[in-house]
Each structure stands twice: as structure tokens, then as C-alpha cells.
Structure 1
């Protein structure tokens, strides 16, 4: 998964990745040259010859002569300032570029996942937990961004360490080999901690996912939880989950601090051994020893930083895997591409079901609908009724094109409801579910969500059709009144009538009301039924309902039981 992650990142970054690597190389070279400038400086201040680096000092003096600068302290210090300034300028540009790469990569991943989610079939969405989707779109992708930042930092640190090693080799091959042996040995000894970091990352991701689930479920059921006095139980569940998150974060901190602890102890031992070998066995000159110690103090922390970056990357890699898995699942169930401009379909004949069967679990013989043959004539009102679990909502979803039959065909005016025709049909549908969804925004904004270009006169027209214009006129802010979260500041009847107005704003050929009045009081239900009476005969209406006040207005009644039609009445005599 790590290799796939790196490949995906560099495919996205393209030429910017090459530029970033080039800038890292420039930074490494400027740091190396800055260190090399210390060679003639040490000679000038009288610390003695630089031993094996005397050829290097000769080259530096030659460069100064080529630049027309005298070999003195002023020239060397001025050149050093120029080199450091160039390093800082390049470093700033590289940091900005890396920031663009990191944030651009996470943005592309988030947008591509959301695009796959938006195009996925409704059944695929039903099989996914909302909290899981939220978790992946937020925390997981954020952790991928952190891993990307750490990867770029890791590459930069590797380049810098290699530059230090090259300079150290010029000064003393034996002591450089000694430093390399310690650094490589340190990475090998710490490698098992990388695997622990990945396992901790997987556990942490699971714990955070459980927290998202608990929060979503508790907020969704807050009212009933309070009415049942279950607040303490939810608190205890949340406490256990968040304790698990804390444990995983602490475990990862232990891994990181163990790396630093082992490094500091090892570095102290290595430094003592380094001085002993350099002074007693190799007899390095004082100036060289000073430079090598300086390099040693840069190289060893570099190895430690490399190890810590690797741990942080492996800790975050499970999140990258989760993003890819969810995206793959959604893309496997994608619908036809939605065009920018879709011309609505005008229903003239009707909707037909021909031997339609559907099941949610394709591995079982549990049919939600079985062998359904039905004709819903255009510009009539059809009521679908039956006990809970009879298949009413499944039939509604098939009419909307949200589900596709496992057997048989759903046709609109004789055209199969599939392929590119799906979106054109949905553009012609007004849908009002039992659980109305309204945004925490104004009445105007909630209506315009269905048709952004609608004018105020269109809004008031559908409000009158829905018998809710009187209510909107009575509130001080009118169309600009805020409805609260999910319409919580409105009554159930007001929410449903505004939802009905929103559906009518689309000027649909089909209006589908799925238990839209089942939870309303008698007065609110009557308002909805009056609105339905106004629309009767002007468009095709399909109502899923239990109450006789709604059903008796239908031209046709379809009774479902256990997924089959058990009764159909040509024209209702109850009206």
C-alpha cells in the first residue's frame, strides 16, 4: 500500500514533484557549500591545517580568485552569507510548492471520492454507514495529507543527509564510514517500530470510526434518547470509545518517544566512541575533527528524523487504504454520467411495471418485490398501500429510478428506465418523503435548492399550491425566515408543505409522496390533501399512504403484501 500511495502522489504531482526534488537538491548543495566554506575560515583563524581537506581549501581559494575576491575573512564571510541567503530563498519557495502539492493532493482525493459518492447507485449508498463516509472524507483524507507532508520532508532529509555524507567523506573516510554504520544500524534496529506504528494507525482509525458512528447515532436519536433517559448509556459508550482513541494516540507517542530515546542514548555512545577513535586511533587534526563533529551532529539527527518520518507515514497509510477502498466501492456502482443540462421528460402515457422483482441482498431469496405487473396512467392519482415491509417504499424507489429491477422492466411511456434516460426522468420528478429534509437556512434557500433560477413569483405560486403561503406571509421575515436544523423550528405540517412546494417548483411530470402525511395531525394532513386536490389531473401523482383521507382521493388503489400485488381497484369508489 505504501508503494501505491507514493506512486499515486507522484502521478498527481507530475512536474511539480520533479521541481520539488530539484529544489531539495539545491538546498542540500547550498548547505554543503556553506559547510565547505568553513575549511578556509578555520585556516584563517589559526586552527591549523585541515589535513585531508587541503585540496578542498585550494579549490575554494581558486573559486574566490575566479570571482575576483581576495582570500581573506571578509570575502569568505560575505560569500557564506550569500550562500545561506540563497538556501533560505530556495527553502521558502520549496515549502510553498510542497504546501500546494500536499493540499492539492488531499483536495483531489476528497473531490474524487465525493464525485464517486455522488454518482454511486442508491443501493450502494444504502449499504454504507453515513458515519463511515464522513470519517473517510474528513479525518482519513486529512491523515493522508499529513503523510504526504511527512513523505516530502523525508525525501528532503535524505538528500540533506547524503550531502553531509559527501562532505564528511572528503574530510575523513574512516570516520564517515563509522557514522554511516551507526546510522544504518539505528534504522535497522528501529524497523520493527514501523510495523507497530502501522498497526497502531489501523487501530486508531477503527476507534475514530467508532466515535463518528456513536456521535451520528446519538445526535440522530437525541430526542428519543432523552425521552428514554438513555443519556448516561450514550455517555458511557462515548467514554469507552474515546478512551480507546486516547490509548492508541498514547501508544503511537510511546513508539515515537522510544525512537528518540534510543537515538539519544545511541548517539551519546556513538559520540564517545567517535571521539576515542578520531583522537586516539586515527589522529585527525583539530580543524578536521571540529568539522567532522559538526557533520556528525547533523548526520545522526538526520537518521532519527528519517526514522520518525517513516513511522508517521506508516501510521497514516491505513487511511489511504480506506479512501481507495471506499472510492473503488462507489465507482463499481456508478450510474451514467450526469450531464450539465438535462431536458425534463413530459409523461404522457404512464409508468409500467412488467414482471418486476427486486431484492436488496442478492445472495438470498428474500424478495422485496416479486412478479409485479402494474400500470400507472399519466395525470391520475394512484395510491399504494399495504402493511409495513410490504414493498411500498421499494416500489417508490423503482419508480424514481433509484433502484434497478433484478428481473423485469420499469418503463416510462414505453421507454426502459435505465442508462442515460435515468437522469432525464429524475429531472421530471417531484419527491416528498416521510422524513423531510430541510437545510438550516431560509425558506427561500430551501426552495431554490430545487430550482436555483426561480423567481419570487414562482416561489409564491408553489407556496399557494401547497397551502403554506399563509404561514410564510405571517412570519416577520417571510421567505427569509430561517427554518432551523432539518426544519426543526417549524411544525411537522409546515415542514411537509414547504417540502411539497419545493417539489412542485420543479414543475414535475410525476409527484411522489412517500408516507408524506403519516406523521401529521389531522389539520396538517388536510392542508396537504387540499394541495393534492388542486394538483389532481394536472400531473401524475403517486401516494404511499395508510390513512383513508388520503387514499380515498385516489383514482386507483394498489395493495401490496409481502412484495406482491394482492388487490387493484380500477377507480376508487370511496371518493
Structure 2
């Protein structure tokens, strides 16, 4: 799915381009279904108009006699001709036939409306899913350096709230199309009843449409502003929950609530302004219709010398026109707001993922044994900030390497380089002595198990979690992997066994249990390289030691990279890389560094061991 985008513009031009861009995206997605649904929309409008048109001679029949249908203008003449051709001369017969046809038209319109609603719903909901699929795919395929620099709160808002507004755009588009079709049909009916009075109504309606243009333009601006305000509010919710505990502890709950509500108030102000604009346009339309009705009656009596039936028919049409006219105005305001909001989200995400060059798809070059890794004068940045600068280090094949250092030293970025997720901006990354090109990094990915800091689990069952990315693991292998990380008891206490539900975001498990599950899942990949970035920080010291020992027993030949602040990791490490401020300041065999009392590793080992 290709997302079209508008060229940059200012003010009104940008608003117009945003609407056109989103409409092109929708047209490309819908394909031939767009025209089929549009045909149903216009068919419904035509049938509605036919129903109203049938009322014109019926009113004449009720007010007069059979011959009086002619008094209802052109519509009455057509009806009279049909009655004559069918040989229906009596008033009662004509009324019965007219009412029967009217009910048939109403029934046919109900069938068309149902088909239209089904098609519109399918396209609207499917379009939102397709947009998410496009953006998810674009982010998933973007270079990791660009993805790692994303503002996750803003991106989360764009991928949820802003893209959901695209659904509102589709509904507003269909609504505008239906309203426009209804107005066209009613215009034809009005012309059939009285061309003179129709000309008056068209003049008033055109002037009213132009008068409401500023409200439509304002809706576009509000849509852009709401996207930005909502993005802040989306993140504010998470920040509120994160800060609630310290706020309660410090007896600052009221101040915390007041500060957190600032974004909510701004969002409410924008939404309220849009709703008030919709209300204003509705009031203007209602007032204008009332004025138009007076003008039509006066013009009909004074200029057209219209009969009572014609005036009643025109007023009936005018009353029916009010609803689609008001609906059209509201729909155009919603289209402007939704398109502007979507364009803001599109610009935000494109700017984020376009910050690093992409690589062509390649066939992986297999890494068929535990790899040795080496960085030579490698540098890396995130969000425009240099994190690692001229780093040189190695990870011996088949050994356990500990990456140590204080918070903010660049350990996670170093892990991303060693896992092949990031490409060094300067310098080289080597795998078993070969420069790691795209094909070799792709092969490394297939040999890799990466467990990061975030507690990522999938729904709905434990079995699906353990099997995610695993290579055909059976029940026995899953139970063995759970046992290796001390999580065997998680299966025993639930009647569902491996098919037990994990719940939304796996909240039924503690933080330590979630980490054990992710480690068991990593074992089941049978990796030749395992990278653990703070993957055991939710466990106590004794549990961490047991889990790391279990991992080493299950993967005795794998190359393992560990980021940890605990002595248990240093206890099983063969090699240590110490980072400070994005540079390697100490590296060597773990045993040698611990034996050197002047080394950072030895000092850390002593202080951590005494603290434990």
C-alpha cells in the first residue's frame, strides 16, 4: 500500500493538499469497491428523492381531485400521464396505486441502504487496518537507528488515535457523498415543481455555502492542533501513572493531578472548539432555511403565481434539503479536521523513520557456529546524539562477555551494534573476522536470541509465547526451557498447562516471572549468539545467579553477551568490556581484571560482593 502525500504548502493550500492526499490513499486502497459503494450511495439518494417526488402528486390527490394532480407542476403531469396510461381514473385508485409504489420504493431503499451500510463499514474499518499495516510495516522495516530514536509516546498516539481518525475521514467522505447526492436529487425534484422558486433556493444555498467556508478552514487548523495536543496527552497518561506512587508518598497527589490535567484541558478545548463550530454551522443552516422558506413563499405567490400544491411541495422539498445540507457542511468540516490530523501524524512518523538510510533486501549468509564479534573504531548515534564514539572491543566466540558501566554509558547501543541491529556510522563491525555486510548481519539475526529490558510477551497463551520465534519446539522442550530458568512452576499451578492464558500484557505474572518466560523463549531459539540487555534486573541476586547458570548449562557453546549491574553476571563472565561516556575504558579476561586491584572491574566486584 503506497501512501501518497501532499507537497508542503502553507495555510489553505496545505489543508487542501492534506485532504487530497488522504483521499488518494483511500482511493488506492478501495479500488473498484469505491465505485461500487459510491453507486449504492447515489442509488440511496435517488430512491429517497423518488420517494419525495411521489409525495407531490399524492398531496395533490389528497387536497384536490384526480385531475388536480396536474396542479403539482411537472411531477404532477408525469403522474397524470402514468395514471392515464394505466387506465386508473378514480381518485381512490390513483391514491392506492401511488401509495403502493411509494411503499415499494421505501422497501427498495431499505435494501439498498443495508448494502450501502455494509460496504461503507467494510471499507472504513478495513482502511484503518490497512493504514496501520502500512505504518507498522514501514517502522518494522526501517533501520534500527531511526526506530530507536522514535518518540514512543508520539508514535503510539499516531499509530492509534491519529490513524483512527482516518476512519472518521472515510465516514465523513461517505456522508458528504450521500448528502451531495441527496441535494442533487432534491434539486431535480425542485426544478420539476417550480424552476423559478428553485433558482431562488439555489442562490440562497450557494451564498450560505460560501459563508460557511471559514468554519471548514478552521476545522482543518483545529485538526492539526488536536493531533499535537493529543500526542502530548497520550504520553501524559503514562507519565501520570508512573508518577503516582512518588506523588502519594510525598503527599503531592493534588499537585500531581493538576499538572497532569493540563494536557487534558488543552485537548478538551480543541475538541470543544470543533464541536461549537459544528453547532454554529447548524444554527446558521436552520436560520437560513427558515429565511429561504419565507422568500420562496413570497416569490411563489408574487412572481410565479404558484398554487397551494406547488407551495406545499416546494416547502416539503426545502425541509428535506435542510438535513443533507447541514450534513454536508458537518461532513466537510470533519473531513478537513481528520485529514489535517492524519497529515500531521504522517509527517511526524515519516520524519522519524527517514533519519537513517535503508538497506536493500538480501539473502542471509549463514552464521552456523557461535560467532566471535569485533568492533573497530565504531560510532553510533540515537536521536541525533552521539552515543558511542570510536569504540573498539571484541566478544570471544563461545564465551560469556559482560558489558559493564554506569547508567548512560552506552551499553544498550553497544548491544545493538553487536546484535547487528545498528550499523556503525564510522568504523567496522566484524563477525568471525569478516566485515559484517547486510547479508552477514541478516544471517546473524537468524542465529540470535535477543532479550532486552522491555517485558515483551505475546497473547494469548503461554505456549504461543514460548513458541514465538522458536524453531519447532515441542512440549518437552518448552518445559525443559522453563525449568532451566526456574519457571517450571508457572505451568504446574494452572490447569491449562502450556495453554494457560497470559492475559493482556501478561499482567498475571510478576516482573521476574515475565523475565523468566522471555529467557525460556530465547533458549528455545537454540541461538548461537545470545544478547541479554538487563534481562534479569527484576530478579533478586540469588535468582539471577541461578538463571544465568541455567542459561549457560542449556547453551554451553553459544556466545553470550550480558549487560548487568550485578556480581552474578561477572561471576560467570569470561570477558569484560567496560564503558564510560560512550568509550571503552577497560577490556580483558574477567579473571585477569578481577585479579588486578587497580582495575574498575576489581573495584566493582569488591563493592558489589560486599553489598550483596
Shorter chain as denominator, the TM-score bin is 0.7 to 0.9
Give the alignment partner of residue 432 of structure 1, picking from 451, 464, 482.
Answer: 451
Structure 2 residue aligned with 1:309: 331
Shift of 1:198: 2.4
Query: Structure 1 residues 533, 193: closer, same or farther in 2, change over 3 A?
Result: closer
Give, in whole Å, the separation in 2 of the partners of 1:119 and 1:265: 54
Mapping of 1:229-378 within 5 angstroms? 229-329=251-351, 332=354, 345-362=367-384, 367-378=386-397
Structure 1 residue aligned with 2:598: none
Give, in whole Å, the separation in 1 of the partners of 2:446 and 2:456: 19
Query: Structure 1 residues 304, 276: closer, same or farther in 2, change over 3 A?
Result: same
Shift of 1:192: 1.1
Mapping of 1:531-570 within 5 angstroms? 531=550, 533-534=552-553, 537-570=556-589
Give, in whole Å, the separation in 2 of the partners of 1:32 and 1:523: 79
Determine whether 1:501 maps to 2:525. Answer: no
Superposition TM-score, scaled by structure 2 size: 0.83
Determine whether 1:155 maps to 2:177. Answer: yes
Structure 2 residue aligned with 1:109: 131
Query: Structure 1 residues 427, 252: closer, same or farther in 2, change over 3 A?
Result: same
Give, in whole Å, the separation in 1 of the partners of 2:455 and 2:177: 52
Deviations 1:492-513 (A, max 9, x none): 6555444332221111101222
Determine whether 1:100 maps to 2:119. Answer: no
Shift of 1:284: 0.9
Determine whether 1:458 maps to 2:477. Answer: yes
Shift of 1:344: 6.7
Determine whether 1:79 maps to 2:79. Answer: no
Structure 2 residue aligned with 1:135: 157
Task: Give the RMSD, CA atoms, in angstroms.
Answer: 3.3
Give, in whole Å, the separation in 2 of the partners of 1:549 and 1:27: 72
- Residue 543 of structure 1: SS of its match in structure 2? strand
Shift of 1:407: 0.8
Structure 1 residue aligned with 2:45: 28
CA contact (8 A) 2:371 2:528 kept: no
Runs of 5+ consecutive residues of structure 2 not aligned to the other structure: 1-17, 596-612
Query: Structure 1 residues 233, 411: closer, same or farther in 2, change over 3 A?
Result: farther
Give the alignment partner of residue 167 of structure 2, picking from 145, 148, 152.
Answer: 145
Give, in whole Å, the separation in 2 of the partners of 1:449 and 1:41: 69
Give the alignment partner of residue 180 of structure 1, picking from 191, 202, 213.
Answer: 202
Give, in whole Å, the separation in 2 of the partners of 1:519 and 1:82: 70
- Residue 424 of structure 1: SS of its match in structure 2? helix
Give the alignment partner of residue 405 of structure 2, picking from 375, 378, 386.
Answer: 386
Runs of 5+ consecutive residues of structure 1 not aligned to the other structure: none
Deviations 1:100-134 (A, max 9, x none): 22112122112222222322333323322332233
Structure 2 residue aligned with 1:19: 36
CA contact (8 A) 2:451 2:535 kept: yes
Of stretches 234-243 and 488-497 in structure 1, the one that deviates more from structure 2 is 488-497
Of stretches 303-312 and 115-124 in structure 1, the one that deviates more from structure 2 is 115-124
Structure 2 residue aligned with 1:449: 468
Query: Structure 1 residues 172, 482: closer, same or farther in 2, change over 3 A?
Result: closer
Give, in whole Å, the separation in 1 of the partners of 2:102 and 2:30: 34
Structure 2 residue aligned with 1:6: 23
Structure 1 residue aligned with 2:602: none
Give the alignment partner of residue 211 of structure 2, picking from 177, 186, 189.
Answer: 189
Structure 2 residue aligned with 1:204: 226
Give the alignment partner of residue 429 of structure 2, picking from 403, 406, 410.
Answer: 410
Superposition TM-score, scaled by structure 1 size: 0.87
Query: Structure 1 residues 342, 216: closer, same or farther in 2, change over 3 A?
Result: farther
Query: Structure 1 residues 293, 379: closer, same or farther in 2, change over 3 A?
Result: same
Query: Structure 1 residues 65, 15: closer, same or farther in 2, change over 3 A?
Result: farther
Give, in whole Å, the separation in 1 of the partners of 2:502 and 2:123: 40
Determine whether 1:164 maps to 2:186. Answer: yes
Give, in whole Å, the separation in 2 of the partners of 1:120 and 1:67: 71
Structure 2 residue aligned with 1:514: 533
Query: Structure 1 residues 422, 234: closer, same or farther in 2, change over 3 A?
Result: farther
Give, in whole Å, the separation in 2 of the partners of 1:367 and 1:465: 39
- Length, aligned pairs only: 570
Give, in whole Å, the separation in 2 of the partners of 1:30 and 1:271: 24
- Residue 352 of structure 1: SS of its match in structure 2? strand
Shift of 1:321: 0.9
- Residue 368 of structure 1: SS of its match in structure 2? strand
Give, in whole Å, the separation in 2 of the partners of 1:371 and 1:472: 45
Shift of 1:310: 1.2
- Residue 389 of structure 1: SS of its match in structure 2? coil
Structure 1 residue aligned with 2:54: 37
Give, in whole Å, the separation in 2 of the partners of 1:295 and 1:403: 66
- Residue 359 of structure 1: SS of its match in structure 2? strand
Give, in whole Å, the separation in 2 of the partners of 1:387 and 1:523: 22
Query: Structure 1 residues 493, 18: closer, same or farther in 2, change over 3 A?
Result: closer
Deviations 1:253-300 (A, max 9, x none): 221221122222222222222212211332112222222222222224
